């Protein structure tokens, strides 16, 4: 049986991108990227929306000599993970055959079956995709990489009007000011 986890990079004012949709301010330093690589070792399945799936296609290619060892390892791990893509506009032909599958909308009962059948952590990626599962109390672990930037608006990391009890399980401060916070939901 797996566990549902939500992971994101966020500004200190709570946004994953700014009002223009830009998220380049959240690009990880090498030590932060190394933490992402470590974290991915436990992930067996990613549930993500169309935009995130398209963005992450970059990691589907075989790394070339321009990739650092950490990037090569991340790409290797990413390609092994099953992806469930939540999209009403993509078709199965748009996905990596034999590994990735399509869910036209997030169905919480199906998400429970995915988590229950997973060999490891199921990570739900992207605040829009994750919001129904967070509201339903299905997310057991929250991983936030807090970037020391105030962006003043954009896409919020957590749904509005959400109330949750969480316990800090781990934290790490990086030299660039990024703070990693791992919380467990009650």
- pLDDT tens column, 13-35: 999 999 999 999 999 999 999 99
| Domain around 114 | 3-18+41-157
Paired strand residues for 183: 142, 168
Query: Is residue 131 included in any domain, yes or no?
Result: yes
The enclosing domain of 11 has a CATH number of 3.40.430.10
What pTM value is reported for the model? 0.93
Q: How far apart are CA 65 and CA 31, in angstroms?
A: 20
Query: Is residue 55 included in any domain, yes or no?
Result: yes
Crossing angle, helix 127-135 and helix 108-117, to 10 degrees? 90
In total, how many domains does the chain have? 1
The predicted-structure confidence for 99-156, as pLDDT tens digits, reads as follows: 899 999 999 999 999 999 999 999 999 999 999 999 999 999 999 999 999 999 999 9
């Amino acid at each position: 049986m797996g566990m549902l986890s939500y992971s994101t990079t966020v500004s200190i004012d709570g946004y994953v991108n700014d009002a223009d949709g830009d998220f380049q301010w959240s690009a990880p330093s090498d030590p932060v990227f190394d933490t992402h690589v470590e974290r991915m070792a436990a992930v067996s399945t990613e549930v993500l929306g169309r935009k995130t799936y398209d963005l992450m296609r970059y990691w589907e290619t075989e790394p070339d000599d321009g990739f650092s060892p950490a990037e090569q390892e991340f790409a290797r791990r990413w390609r092994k993970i099953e992806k469930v893509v939540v999209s009403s506009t993509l078709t199965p032909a748009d996905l990596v055959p034999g590994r990735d599958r399509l869910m036209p909308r997030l169905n919480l009962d199906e998400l429970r079956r995915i988590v229950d059948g997973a060999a490891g952590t199921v990570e739900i990626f992207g605040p829009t995709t994750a919001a129904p599962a967070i509201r339903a109390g299905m997310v057991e672990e929250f991983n936030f990489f807090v970037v020391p930037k105030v962006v003043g608006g954009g896409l919020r990391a957590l749904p509005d009007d959400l109330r949750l009890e969480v316990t800090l399980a781990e934290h790490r401060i990086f030299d660039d000011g990024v703070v990693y916070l791992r919380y467990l939901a009650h």
